[in-house]
Structure 1
Amino acid sequence: MRVFAGLDEVKAAKGEELGSSDWHLVTQEQVNLFADATEDHQWIHVDLEKAAKGPFGGPVAHGYLTLSMLAKFSGQLWRVDGLSMAVNYGLNKVRFPQPVLVGKRIRAHGRLLDVAENKMGLQVTVQITVEIEGEDKPGCVAESLALLVP
C-alpha cells in the first residue's frame, strides 16, 4: 500500500504507480449475492448449467460486480494520512475488456493519473486496472475520482 503523509505528497506523485492489491477469489456465492442485490439474474451469471454451454464456458461475474470491487481494492492500493475525509467523486472511463469467470482470482493495479485543486481539497484521478490471474486482458479498467479533504 502506498501511504501519503498529506496532500503535498499526493500532488508530487502525479503519474506514479500505486502498486497492487491483494488477490481476491470471485466465487459463485458472491455473484449470486450481487445478482440478488441488483436484481440482475441473467443466466450467464447464475445458471451454472446454461452458462457452462454459453460463450464463456461457465458463469461470469457481473461487470458491475467487478467494478464494485474497486472500493475494496482502492483501500489496499493507497491512503492519505491526516485527512478529515476522502469521498468517492465518481468515475470517468470504465471498460470491461474481458469477463471474469467465477473461480478466477482478480487484483488491482493503480496509477495516479491526475491531481487537481478543488474548493474542498484535492480531486485525484486514479486509473485502476483489474487483472485476471492467468489472462492477458484485464477484467476492468476504470478512472476513479476521489475528493480528498484536509
Structure 2
Amino acid sequence: MRTFTSLDDVAAAVGTELGTSEWLEIDQARVDTFADATGDHQWIHVDVERSAAGPFGGTIAHGYLTLSLIPFLGSSVFSFDTPGAKLNYGLNKARFPHPVHVGKRIRVTVTLTACDDLPTGKQVTLSHIIEIEGVAKPACVAESVVLLLEG
C-alpha cells in the first residue's frame, strides 16, 4: 500500500505504477444490488436462466458496476493522506473492453500519470486497468481525476 502524506510526494510519483489490488469475486448478489440501486434490470445482468442462453452464456456485471469498484479496489493500493480535502473530479475516459461474467474475479492496477498544479492544490490523474482473472482483455480501462486541496 502506497500512502501519500504530502502534495510534493504525489507530484514526485508521476509515471509510477502504484500497485495492484487483491482479487474480488463478482457474485450475482452484488450485480442484483447494483441493478436495484440504478434501476438497470436488463436481463443480461439479472436473469440467470435467460442469460444462460444469451450472448454471454450467463449473467454479466454492469460496466458501471465494474467502474464503480475503482475506489474500493484502489483503496488497498494507495491512499492520499494529504492535509486537505480530496475531491473526485471525474473521468477523462472509460472503456469496457470485456464483460465481467458473474463468478469471475477482478483486480485493479493503478498508475499515477499526471499531477498538475492548481491555485488551491493539485489535480491528479490516475490510470486504472481492471483485469479479469484468466482473461486477456481487461474489463475496464479508466482514467480518473482527483483534486487534492491544500490543508
- TM-based fold match above 0.5: yes
Given residue 54 of structure 2, which amino acid in structure 1 is its aligned partner?
A: G
Distance, in Å, in 1 between the alignment partners of 2:80 and 2:115 is: 13
Structure 1 stretches of 4+ with a deviation exceeding 6 A read none
Q: Which residue of 2 aligns with 1:16?
A: 16
Q: What RMSD, in angstroms, separates the aligned Cα atoms of the two structures?
A: 1.0
How many percent of aligned residue pairs carry the same amino acid? Answer: 53
- Secondary structure of 2:113 counterpart: strand
Q: Which residue of 2 aligns with 1:82?
A: 82
Provide Cα deviations, 1:3-58, integer angstroms capped at 9, x if missing partner.
12311111111011010112111010000010011000000000101111111111
Given residue 12 of structure 1, which amino acid in structure 2 is its aligned partner?
A: A
Distance, in Å, in 2 between the alignment partners of 1:82 and 1:144 is: 18
Q: Which residue of 2 aligns with 1:133?
A: 133
Q: CA deviation at 1:134?
A: 0.7
Q: Which residue of 1 aligns with 2:105?
A: 105
Distance, in Å, in 1 between the alignment partners of 2:114 and 2:39 is: 35
In structure 2, stretches of 5+ residues that fail to align are: none
* Correspondence list, 1:26-65, <5 A: 26-65=26-65
- Secondary structure of 2:34 counterpart: helix
Question: How many corresponding residue pairs?
Answer: 150
Distance, in Å, in 1 between the alignment partners of 2:12 and 2:72 is: 25
Q: CA deviation at 1:74?
A: 2.3
